[in-house]
Chain A
Amino acid sequence: MLKGHQSWIFENRPSILSTGTVGGPFEAKGKIPEAFDILHEDMWLNQDSWEKAQQKMLEEAIQTTLKKGRIEKESVEFLIAGDLINQMTPTSFAASTSSIPFLGAFSACATSMESLALAASIINAKGANYILCAASSHNAATEKQFRYPTEYGGQKPPTSQWTVTGAGCALVAQNGTGPAITSATIGKVADMGMTDPFNMGGAMAIAAADTIEAHFRDMQIDPSYYDLIITGDLGHIGREVSLDLLHDRNIPIDAEKYVDCGIAIYREDQPVLAGGSGAACSAIVTYGHFLQEVIKGNLKRILVAATGSLHSTLSVQQKDPIPCIAHAVSIEARSEHI
């Protein structure tokens, strides 16, 4: 199962049975509204705090996934999920209402692929039959915790990114007709001494490049193996930096085949500056958009490298650099799709 230094091969090919995605009003106006199962008009979702609204979205994503997969909640062995808000408050409460045995996972915005890799690994080792993995974020809750109050007038520089409001969930199963998870590469934390929390894409690019490089090295394949290489939430700056880094390291990735969830989710005329971000970003765009393309047969093999910056408000105040991480998961169409 272990391959190379930091990768797993899943010989039993766990499958993604179903997915559920939830978004907010700003996402509804974005580039891919069809990627969402549920879209909300109201940022509050009739809750009395942003954090509760985020919890609600996560619960809805989980319910939608179960409904679409036609699986009873009781048949699911584990829920692996995480988010960015105060010790994962929304996720813990959503896990409490769902009452599925729960493993909390934190890799900031790379949580989606960390949880998917762990789920695939447990399923592959026959440690479970069904595992749900999910990630969520809420623009206002994130702004409140990491930046300023939502109504505060602080000018954001063009390097900053817009946190996605939403939740994405996937159900991983032993067998089934959905796309197969074939391998995963767990990233190392990269710290390049970058300190500007308003330029996360630029800080995370190195982590994405490292993990993608490690994936090709461990799996002994080259980029042509994949139809699409998808990064999590690097935005315009991070995408360019990581692509140039990979080219510098003699990894020939076609620029057209190198896409980013943070760029894919919003239209160019939305005021998102460098692009989207947040734990929900890679989860929603991967599960709701690119995975559907795999199911439709438009894509055969994709590599999703979700990126996360692991700073906290504490580390930023104490002038520490921003540690970054990326986890990559390879998803392939079932042979009957090909």
Chain B
Amino acid sequence: MGDKKKQKLQPNQQRYQAFQQKREIKRPIFKNCIKAFLIGGLICFIGQLISTFYIYQFNFTEKTVGNPTVATLIFLTMLLTGFGVYDRIAQFAGAGSAVPVTGFGNAVISSAIEYRSEGFILGVGSNMLKLAGPVIVYGVFSAFIVAIIKTILTQWGGF
């Protein structure tokens, strides 16, 4: 919590929060980072295996192999999510399973499965991107800003 937010609190609230914080179970940050490293690394390692397979079997190049690799990983994610395994892995791995593209796939697929009970259009359709939406929105918007700046600099800036 930031200092600015703390200043708005009453003295008794500040006292209570300090009191509470002393008894709070701390997040095991170091252990979590090791787990995230191992599982995240493993997922990328599997991605590399898939890439290598596509390069040698289907004549993809190192530049074009990214797309089929991602699609394959998301397919595997669908199976793991559907059989209820991905959330168990994630409780262990934390960011290790959230940051790879499989985490993006899991966010979309788990929402789709969960909201099935509210129908395909307003349930699955509307809620599918509930969690993953921000990634697309800010990915696109930041890419737009970066690309605009770069285009202006290269085309008119004389670089």
Q: A residues near B, CB below 8 A?
A: 48-50, 144, 148-159, 191-195, 199, 202-203, 205-206, 236-237, 240-241, 244-245, 271, 274
Nearest Cβ on chain A to B77's Cβ, whole angstroms: 9
Give the residue of A151, A191, A271 whose beta carbon is less than 8 angstroms from that of B113.
A151
Can you add 10 more A-B contacts, CB < 8 Å, to A144-B114, A152-B111, A237-B23?
A150-B87, A151-B86, A151-B109, A151-B113, A192-B16, A193-B8, A193-B17, A236-B25, A241-B19, A245-B19
Give the residue of A48, A193, A199, A244 whose beta carbon is less than 8 angstroms from that of B24.
A199
Query: With the chains together, A206 CA to B13 CA distance in Å?
Result: 10
Q: Is the CB of B91 within 8 A of A271?
A: yes
- B44 beta carbon closer than 8 Å to chain A: no
Nearest Cβ on chain A to B43's Cβ, whole angstroms: 12
Q: B residues near A, CB below 8 A?
A: 1, 8-10, 12-14, 16-17, 19-20, 23-28, 32, 81-82, 84, 86-87, 89-91, 93-95, 97-98, 103, 106-107, 109-111, 113-115, 117, 131
Nearest Cβ on chain B to A57's Cβ, whole angstroms: 17
Query: With the chains together, A149 CA to B84 CA distance in Å?
Result: 11
Q: Is the CB of A153 within 8 A of B114?
A: no
B94, closest chain A residue (CB): A155
Q: Is the CB of A237 within 8 A of B86?
A: no
B15, closest chain A residue (CB): A192
Contacts of A154 in B (CB 8 A): 87, 90, 98
Q: Is the CB of A149 within 8 A of B110?
A: yes
Q: Is the CB of A151 within 8 A of B25?
A: no
Query: With the chains together, A236 CA to B113 CA distance in Å?
Result: 33
Contacts of A193 in B (CB 8 A): 8-10, 13-14, 17
Q: Is the CB of A159 within 8 A of B24?
A: yes
Query: With the chains together, A148 CA to B87 CA distance in Å?
Result: 11
Q: Is the CB of B9 within 8 A of A148?
A: no
Query: With the chains together, A240 CA to B20 CA distance in Å?
Result: 9
